[in-house]
Amino acid sequence: MTQQKTGNDMPSFSRISLERLETVDPRLREVLEEAIKHFDFTVLCGHRGKEEQNRLYSSGRTKVMWPDSKHNTYPSLAVDVAPYPIDWGDRERFYYLAGLIMGIAASKGLRLRWGGDWDMDGKFDDNRFDDLPHFEIVES
Ligand SMILES: [Zn+2]
């Protein structure tokens, strides 16, 4: 995949992204399938098994052990995505992608919580644990 694109070229998911998407709740998958038409990103993780969850917990990359993450259900109620090509230092692109995904979800009546705004107050400087790739379904 090249970075230079014409206005007519729509980004699309790679095969590994599609495989990971297969493990994600269809409501969330539908939102991401719309979002990819507008902005290129990669799917890092859908469902997460016990070993992987507890390994991430040990390394401090998640705050919860198995089975308390929304990644631990099947299909997964959470997904991790990152702007493509990935640059972890480029926070602006993560925020842009989050706005796109949250907007599409809202238009479909799906409530999501983003790892850049855990308390869902629309403020980002009070977020104590940034997990910018993370989105999860809020069941009402
Ligand atoms: Zn996550």
Q: Is residue 2 part of a domain?
A: no
CATH code for the domain in which residue 102 is found: 3.30.1380.10
CA–centroid distance, residue 102 to ligand 1 (Å)? 15
Q: Is residue 104 part of a domain?
A: yes
In total, how many domains does the chain have? 1
Per-residue pLDDT at 83 exceeds 70: yes
Domain hosting 69: range is 15-137
Query: pLDDT (tens digit, 9 = 90+) per residue, 31-82?
Result: 999 999 999 999 999 999 999 999 999 999 999 999 999 999 999 999 999 9
- Give the global pTM: 0.92
Strands, E, within the chain: which ranges?
Answer: 41-45, 78-83, 112-114, 134-137
Q: Is residue 125 part of a domain?
A: yes
Per-residue model confidence (pLDDT) at position 138: 97
Q: Is residue 86 part of a domain?
A: yes
Q: Is residue 7 part of a domain?
A: no
Question: CA–CA separation, 76 vs 66, rounded Å?
Answer: 13
CA–centroid distance, residue 71 to ligand 1 (Å)? 6
Per-residue model confidence (pLDDT) at position 4: 55
CA–centroid distance, residue 55 to ligand 1 (Å)? 14
**CA-based Rg of the chain, rounded to a whole angstrom?**
15
Query: pLDDT (tens digit, 9 = 90+) per residue, 109-130?
Result: 999 999 999 999 999 999 999 9
Q: Is residue 3 part of a domain?
A: no
